[in-house]
Amino acid sequence: MVVFFDPGSMTARLDLEVPQALPDGQGGATVTWEVTASLWARIEPVSFMVEERAADEGGTISHRIWVRFRDGISAGQRFRKGARVFLVKLVHDPDETRRYLVCQCEEEAR
């Protein structure tokens, strides 16, 4: 079954970032994020969960992010749109035609 999707709805410009572990000189590592691509995407909010942490409230918002198919996008990477960060949890080709990827992502709300 081929999924109908309007590519004109990809109106968000996102940076794809991959983690880079840099040795900290004490046997550990510091993780930095390196931009590997900029791409057009469609961001669909799916759900949210409010959490109370100490005296602060925060939460997690889950999103479905659609992008054109490309190799190299995987769980553990993230998308960035300005100050917003979307951690990629799952990536799949919705109709296995290699046209689009759907990424299940989480955004921390503050």
Higher pLDDT pick, 53 / 30: 30
Q: What is the pTM of this model?
A: 0.84
pLDDT at 1: 66
Query: What would the mean pLDDT of 68-87 be, rounded to a whole number?
Result: 96
Query: What would the mean pLDDT of 37-62 be, rounded to a whole number?
Result: 86
State the Cα–Cα distance between residues 72 and 52, nearest whole angstrom. Answer: 35
From the CB of residue 28, how many other CB atoms can be counted at a distance below 10 Å? 9
Domains and their CATH numbers in the chain: 10-109 (2.40.10.270)
Query: What would the mean pLDDT of 61-72 be, rounded to a whole number?
Result: 96
State the Cα–Cα distance between residues 73 and 18, nearest whole angstrom. Answer: 9
State the Cα–Cα distance between residues 64 and 67, nearest whole angstrom. Answer: 10
State the Cα–Cα distance between residues 71 and 87, nearest whole angstrom. Answer: 18
List Cβ neighbours of 2 (8 Å cut-off, separation of 6 or more).
95, 97
Kindly indicate the confidence band of residue 44, based on its pLDDT and cuts at 50, 70 and 90.
Answer: very high
Query: What would the mean pLDDT of 25-38 be, rounded to a whole number?
Result: 93
**Helices then strands, each counted (H, E), the chain:** 0, 6
